[in-house]
Amino acid sequence: MIITLNSPLDMHLHLRDDEMLKVVAPLSAKTFAGGIIMPNLVPPVTTLKALKEYKQRILDTIDDENFDPLMTLFFKNDYSYEFLKEAKEYIGAIKLYPSGITTNSQGGVSSLDIASLKETFEAMSELEIPLCVHGETNGFVMDREAEFGDVYESFATHFPKLKIIMEHITTKHSVSLLEKYDNLYATITLHHLYITLDDVAGGMLNPHLFCKPIAKRPEDKEALLKAALSAHPKVMFGSDSAPHPTHKKECCGCAAGVFTAPIALQALTQLFEEHNALDNLQAFVSDNAQRIYNYKPLEKKVTLEKISYLVPQTYSNITPMFASEELKWSVKSVL
């Protein structure tokens, strides 16, 4: 069996920087035509100078791969209309992190009060700049995303022209919000389609599946699967591939993040085939994102074949999901 995907896109991608960037960027650029690049570096990407320099470092690293890094700014509630108007041509979106809620988010938003966000949100609405959100509170870990649902509803109601992307959704409740508000969309990761909390901590602890937001209950995974496998028009693939050195995962104080970039398309194809939904994979990994972001990607054809693929144990001391396991599909060619 063979399947060809046209211009696959990863709409939530961490490429890190420095030596880590040199390892992971080519792995995404090899099989994806583009992706939304997260801005939570240290320090975060908040200026056009920093954004342009980061993009150039990415392009220098991926060499001649046919990959378009769609850059993002780290949200600040004091961006002026004039700044955002200038920034629009250089960015795919702006990413909002609640302060301290995930990796390198200490400089994020400390207050989600509508009044403090109004000026920036209104400017983004007028300029048609999408808002990507890491939607978690600092409450009990299993409830953080559900508790953030009220914030999403407030944003969607007060700013109906603002395109809001609920990043890496993990709950049945978040899926239900897609039906309530025209301006709410979502990305879904590979790992949240495969695992529940039981896979992370139900037996021996698996640190390489620990992420934020944490994997949830079986009924939540089923809701995510239903949305992805049916090619729901408001969801798209975003890996949230988040690399950390193995020694920072296999330790006390384990870093949050699942590294999936090199095996994402193989594992997604396997999953969609197992559910008799291969006809919907193209929409999930590209077509929906193109429509939601009003974006025309670079041309790239990735052909996969049903031949087993042994996932490497590590990629330069970064342990991937499914390390040393066999997937049923392999990448045959990239044109």
Task: List the catalytic residues.
Answer: 240
Q: Which candidate, 52, 103, 61, 129, places its Cα nearest to that of 256?
A: 103
Please, is 206 exposed, middle or buried when counting C-beta atoms within 10 Å of its C-beta (0-12, 13-18, 19+)?
A: middle
Q: Which amino acid is at 262?
A: P
What's the chain's Rg over C-alpha atoms? 19
Judge whether 290 and 298 are in contact, CB under 8 Å.
no
Instruction: Read off the tokens for 82.
Output: 């004039």
Assess whether the previous peptide bond of 213 is cis (omega < 30° from 0).
Answer: yes
Please, which residues bridge with residue 72 across strands?
93
Give the span between the Cα atoms of 41 and 233, in whole angstroms. 31
Backbone phi, psi, residue 122, to 5°: -65, -40
Neighbours of 277 (CB within 10 A): 16
- Total length of the chain: 335
- CA 196/CA 320 separation, integer angstroms: 17
Instruction: Please say whether the beta carbons of 92 and 130 come within 8 A.
Output: yes
Determine the Cα–Cα distance for residues 12 and 272; give it in Å rounded to an integer. 20
H/E element, 245: none
Cβ(174)–Cβ(153) below 8 Å: no
- The dihedrals phi and psi of 140, each to the nearest 5 degrees, come to -55, 135
Bridging pattern class, strands 309-310 and 9-13: unpaired
Structure tokens at 91: 């960015």
